[in-house]
A and B are shown apart, each in its own frame.
Chain A
Amino acid sequence: MTTVTDVAPSAPAKHRAEVATALPPARGQSFLKLVAIELRKSVNTRSGRVLLAAILLLALVAIGWQLTHLPPGAAGFDGFLGAASSGVMLLLPVIGVMAMTSEWTQRTALTTFTLSPRRVRVQLAKFLSAIVLAVVAMTVVILLAVAGTALAGAVTDHTTSYAGMGGQLAGAYLTIMLNVVMGAAFGAVIPQTAVAILVFFIAPTAWSLAGPALFKDNANWLDVWGAFGRIAERDLHGMVPETLTALGVWIVLPTIAGLWASSRREVK
């Protein structure tokens, strides 16, 4: 007998009766489980990990820069938070976009929706997992900003200031959540990653640039970046209807359209 290089298993496959008793009884899929799985899916691919690492790295670099370029006066937490969170504000929505689009570009929707046929539930779980991820990432960034502020107080002769920290935190969390939901909504509407990311960044920016020229102050009604800015500052400048309208048009509307589209989209 010659030796055979055998790639196939020599033992017969174990399935059905052999293991049937060993498996726990089948249960339905709780929404919490779907959220946990979607959360895991957004961090267990290489691209997901690279993005999270980039967010962390950007935060560290920004804090380092802030430490070495402190303005005169007290080293304020707000300065550190602003610097550290720019990376997360920019990149985390991309994870939101990809949570939606990668199912279609990588064609994993085929498996996802055969294992969980109720698509809207899966999509909602994706939205929620994106929010959870945003909160976790923002918390890490905030802790880094706190550490940066403390470090500034310890190694430089600046005094430290944590004035208005509560409000700043609320603004940061709220903005990142809105950002990531908006990203996910765009990803749900447009199933191609690159196009969705482009539209996500360009369309609102284009509006905030061109809108005021065309419509003067009325452009505020659709300026979502402006709305985010006001929310981050926790001061709506008396523009509550404008802010809500912008959020409605850029976040709520795409979310609903995305849920509708992706639950009907043909899985190829």
Chain B
Amino acid sequence: MITVENLTKRYGGTTAVQDVSFTVQPGSITGFLGPNGAGKSTTLRMLTGLTPPTSGTATITGKRYADLPNPGRVVGVMLDAAAQHPGRTGRETLLLNASLLGVPKGRVDEMLEAVGLTSAAKRRVGQYSLGMRQRLGIASALLGDPAVLILDEPANGMDPEGIRWMRGLLQDFAARGGTVILSSHLLGEVQATVDRLVVIGGGRIVANGALEELLAGSGTLVRGLDPIGLNQALTAAGLRLEPLQDGALRVDATAEQVGRAAAAAGQILIELRQSDGAGLEELFFQLTSAPVAEAA
């Protein structure tokens, strides 16, 4: 379990992260989203003890990261898969970490196999593709059999096949009671993987909740033979709506409410369904592009 409370980080006069609070529960995967420079990485680095916060606390299983006697046995961290020594072999990289974590060498070969790097284990990391380095980073994070995973852009550089594998791995990990927080810019991938979302914009949390709930807010999509007439009818019925470019309307109401209002005004509907919009992508821009609004 990860608990972040009122984390703030200032660099001189600029505030990178302001009063950020959220929790990540065991058995769930939380997507941590935000545009570049929104404070994502800074938050993850404060969480992993790399950057001291100006104020606030971040704890993992109830302890500050720096107070964990052997952090790798509790939390698997991969902040940048590219940050590995190119002059070491993949296996040697893991053996070093295994020694530090106090896990047997057999675990290293097990992990290499689990991430599909057995055949490349004796090659130098410098010859690895980014996707392979991601796999090595995942192997390293899982090495100490942690209860918590903190991953920054784990799918970056992976092929579709690797991304699907990673999704299975993380969902499996969470299903066993593991706690996962991951950041990603691949919104489609995030939508397919995570249970919960924490969205950060301009250093503040702008959304925090279950994926379904956050996406459900988009209402009902309706299309009528007479778009203008339908618009007037629904507005007259007191429903809040937003015209879309293709003539459809998105209404903040249930399909039933929309149907009744349209029927009452004699409007003919040619489409009426739950609005899916562009899903996470639309939500993301809605939340992060506007001059940062108050937390949702």
Tell me if A102 and B85 are in contact (CB < 8 A): yes
Q: A16-B178, A19-B107, A37-B100 are in contact. Are A267 and B73 (CB under 8 A)?
A: no
Q: How many residues of B contact A (CB 8 A)?
A: 57
* Cα–Cα distance between A48 and B124 once the two chains are bound (Å): 14
Contact A7 B116 (CB under 8 A): yes
Q: Which residues of chain B come closer than 8 Å to A139, judged between CB atoms?
A: none
Secondary structure call for the A interface: loop
Q: Is B246 an interface residue (CB 8 A)?
A: no
The answer to whether A113 and B142 have CB atoms under 8 Å apart is no
A163 on interface, CB distance cutoff 8 Å = no
Residue of A nearest to B170 (CB): A13
Min CB distance A4 to B, Å, is: 9
If A19-B145, A107-B83 touch, whether A12 touches B70 (CB-CB below 8 Å) is no
Supposing A27-B70, A108-B83, A266-B51 touch, asked if A116 and B176 sit within 8 A by C-beta, the answer is no
Q: B140 interface residue, CB < 8 Å from A?
A: yes
| A-contacting residues, B157-173, CB 8 Å | 159, 161-162, 164-165, 168-169, 172-173
Chain A residue at minimal CB-CB distance from B49: A117
Counting CB contacts under 8 A, is B226 at the interface? no
Selected from B51, B72, B85, B103, the residue in CB contact (under 8 A) with A24 is B103
Task: For the complex formed, measure the closest distance between the CB of A215 and the CB atoms of chain B, giving whole angstroms.
Answer: 40
Q: Given A27-B69, A114-B48: A8 and B162 within 8 A (CB)? A: yes
Query: Given the complex of chains A and B, what is the CA–CA distance between A28 and B118 in angstroms?
Result: 29
Contact of B172 with A12 in the complex, beta carbons under 8 Å = yes
Q: Whole-angstrom distance from the CB of A119 to the nearest CB of chain B?
A: 10
Cα separation A108 to B136 with both chains bound (whole Å):
13
Task: Say yes or no: A28 contacts B87, CB within 8 Å.
Answer: no
Digitize A26-56: 1 where CB-to-B-CB distance is under 8 Å, 0 elsewhere. 1111000110110011001111100000000
- Please give, as numbers and ranges, the residues of chain A lying within 8 Å of B164 by CB-CB distance: 8
Assess whether B97 is in contact with A115, with CB atoms less than 8 Å apart. Answer: yes
Let me know if A114 and B50 touch, CB within 8 A: yes
Specify the chain A residue showing the minimal Cβ separation from B82. A107
A20 lies within 8 A of B145 (CB): yes
Q: Is A111 at the interface (CB under 8 A from chain B)?
A: yes
A23 within 8 A of B: yes
Q: Is A47 within 8 A of B87, CB to CB? A: yes
Q: How far is the CB of A265 from the nearest CB of chain B, in Å?
A: 10
Q: At the interface, yes or no: A17 with Cβ under 8 Å from chain B?
A: yes
Determine whether A2 belongs to the interface, using a CB cutoff of 8 Å to chain B. Answer: no
Provide the residues of chain A in CB contact with B73, threshold 8 Å.
26
With A9-B113, A117-B49, A117-B71 known to touch, is A16 a contact of B97 (CB < 8 Å)?
no
Nearest Cβ on chain A to B175's Cβ, whole angstroms: 9
Question: Smallest Cβ distance from B276 to chain A, in angstroms?
Answer: 30
Quick check: B107 and A115 within 8 Å, CB to CB?
Answer: no
Q: Once the chains bind, are A15 and B142 in contact (CB under 8 Å)?
A: yes
Q: In whole angstroms, what is the CA distance A63 to B82 when docked?
A: 43
A26 in contact with B102 (CB, 8 Å) = yes
In the complex the two chains form, is B100's CB within 8 Å of A29's CB?
yes
Q: Given A12-B168, A29-B70, A41-B96 in contact, is the A110-B50 Cβ separation under 8 Å?
A: yes
Is the CB of B104 closer than 8 A to any CB of chain A?
yes
> A13 to B99, Cβ gap below 8 A?
no
CB distance from B75 to the nearest CB of A (A): 9
Question: Is B92 within 8 A of A13, CB to CB?
Answer: no
- Contact present for B176 and A108 (CB under 8 Å): no
**Given A37-B99, A111-B84, A114-B79, A24 and B142 contact (CB-CB distance below 8 Å):** no
Inter-chain contact A45/B88, CB cutoff 8 Å: yes
Is A3 an interface position by the 8 A CB rule?
no
A13 touches B115 (CB 8 A): yes
Chain A hits for B101, CB < 8 A: 26, 115
Q: Which of B77, B104, B145 has the most CB of A within 10 A?
A: B145
* Chain B CB within 8 A of A68 CB: no
In the complex, B32 has a CB within 8 A of chain A? no
Indicate if B216 sits at the interface (CB-CB under 8 A).
no
Contacts of B169 in A (CB 8 A): 12-13
Most B C-beta atoms less than 10 A away, residue of A26, A40, A266: A26
> Are B99 and A36 in touch, CB under 8 angstroms?
yes
Residue of A nearest to B164 (CB): A8
Distance in Å: Cβ of A184 to nearest Cβ of chain B: 18
Report if A1 contacts B (CB, 8 A).
no
Chain B min CB distance to A199 (Å) = 23
14 A-B pairs whose Cβ atoms sit less than 8 Å apart in the complex: A9-B113, A12-B172, A13-B142, A13-B173, A15-B173, A15-B176, A16-B145, A24-B103, A47-B87, A48-B87, A102-B85, A107-B82, A108-B84, A115-B97
Give the top 8 A-B pairs by smallest Cβ distance, nearest first.
A45-B87, A26-B73, A107-B83, A28-B69, A13-B114, A9-B116, A8-B165, A117-B49
Interface residues of A (CB under 8 A from B): 6-9, 11-17, 19-20, 22-24, 26-29, 33-34, 36-37, 40-41, 44-48, 102, 106-111, 113-118, 266-267
A19-B145, A23-B144 are known contacts; what are 20 more A-B pairs with Cβ within 8 Å? A6-B161, A7-B116, A8-B162, A12-B172, A16-B145, A22-B107, A26-B101, A37-B100, A46-B87, A46-B124, A102-B85, A106-B86, A106-B87, A107-B83, A108-B84, A114-B48, A115-B71, A115-B100, A117-B66, A117-B71
